[in-house]
């Protein structure tokens, strides 16, 4: 997986922990092929995040929200796609857990933004 550009060390740690948790969760409910497909999409999101930063394409708050907003859509769709009767409880639990993780990250990034201003 590619590394996202971070504005400081705290931002780097937040993103690394967030992406690690998502990947571990997705890997738990998928086979290797589907997991690799998920990581391909995740790399596209990270590339967009990095290009947004390098080319100053918009506001700071937009830049900070690219990864949590896009990965939430990504893992929600992925979990819906791999859900079966047998793994339904696990997929739904991960969806709730990861969605809450995304909300927590956004809250932390908003506070980080205030510290950076």
| CA contacts within 13 A on the Cβ side of 92 | 6
> What pLDDT score was predicted for residue 87?
95
Domain span holding position 84: 9-116
Residue 29 lies in a domain: yes
Residue 83 lies in a domain: yes
pLDDT tens for 33-71 read 999 999 999 999 999 999 988 777 778 888 899 999 999
pTM of the model: 0.90
Residue 52 lies in a domain: yes
Residue 79 lies in a domain: yes
The domain tally of the chain equals 1
Q: Does pLDDT of 117 surpass 50?
A: no
Nearest CA to 70 out of 30, 15, 31, 115 is that of 15
């Amino acid at each position: 997986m590619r590394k996202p550009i971070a504005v400081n060390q705290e931002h780097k740690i937040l993103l690394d922990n967030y992406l690690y948790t998502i990947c571990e969760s997705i890997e738990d409910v998928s086979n290797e092929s589907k997991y690799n497909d998920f990581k391909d999409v995740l790399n596209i999101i990270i590339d967009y995040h990095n290009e947004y930063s390098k080319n100053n394409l918009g506001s700071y708050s937009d830049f900070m929200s690219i990864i949590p907003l896009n990965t939430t859509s990504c893992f929600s769709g992925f979990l819906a796609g791999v859900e079966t009767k047998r793994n339904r409880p696990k997929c739904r639990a991960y969806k709730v857990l990861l969605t809450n993780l995304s909300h927590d990250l956004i809250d932390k990034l908003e506070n980080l933004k205030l510290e950076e201003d």
